Amino acid sequence: MSSKPESPATISDRPSAHSTWQRRFFMVLTILGWLALAAAIIWGLAKIIGPLVLVGFSALLAYLIFPLVRFFQRHMPRPLAILVSLLVVLAVIGLILYVLVFAAVQQFGQLIGFITDLIQHPQNYPPFQSFRPSSPSSPGCRGWAFHRIRSTPQLSRSWGTCSKPSAA
């Protein structure tokens, strides 16, 4: 029982075009502000993450070397024990890297030799015969593959059956 009768919404109850525009403008400004804040936080973390990784790596290295330092400390002063422990660890890491790189280089050389032999003497490798086109109309002689084969002298000699590209 209200004293005022129920009436439909009038034009004065609707928001004006100016207030709608203001609300949308402030919403866009708020979104841009949050994006700028997020970008500043990400930029700050990017500046901090490098030193944090170094500190973490140093702490891990110190934790792992500590038993070795304790062992050497029984026979020599602590600073010298730390130095010897670091040199031992670096020597072990260097030896491991040397063995891995040496093996990788050696196997890469073997791979190059195998590929060269495969290109020069494909008849010696029956499993790879399916990759060699048997006639000029085969799909292996079309498009990019044909031009690549013809432009490489070693491939051109061993895959001599490709005389011209066929129309696709």
Map out the domains of the chain as residue ranges.
49-120
Task: Return the residue matching tokens 């709608």.
Answer: 20
- Lowest average pLDDT, out of 58-72, 120-134, 154-168, goes to 154-168
Answer yes or no: is pLDDT of 31 > 90: yes
Residue with tokens 């590929």: 115
C-alpha closest to that of 141 among 128, 154, 160, 124: 160
- pLDDT at residue 118 in the model: 83
Output the pTM of the full model: 0.45
Task: Find where tokens 């130095």 sit.
Answer: 83
Classify the C-alpha dihedral 131-136-142-148 as positive or negative. Answer: positive
- Whether 19 shows a pLDDT value over 70: the answer reads yes
Q: Which two tokens stand for residue 166?
A: 């066929």
Q: How confident is the model at residue 77 (pLDDT cuts 50, 70, 90)?
A: very high
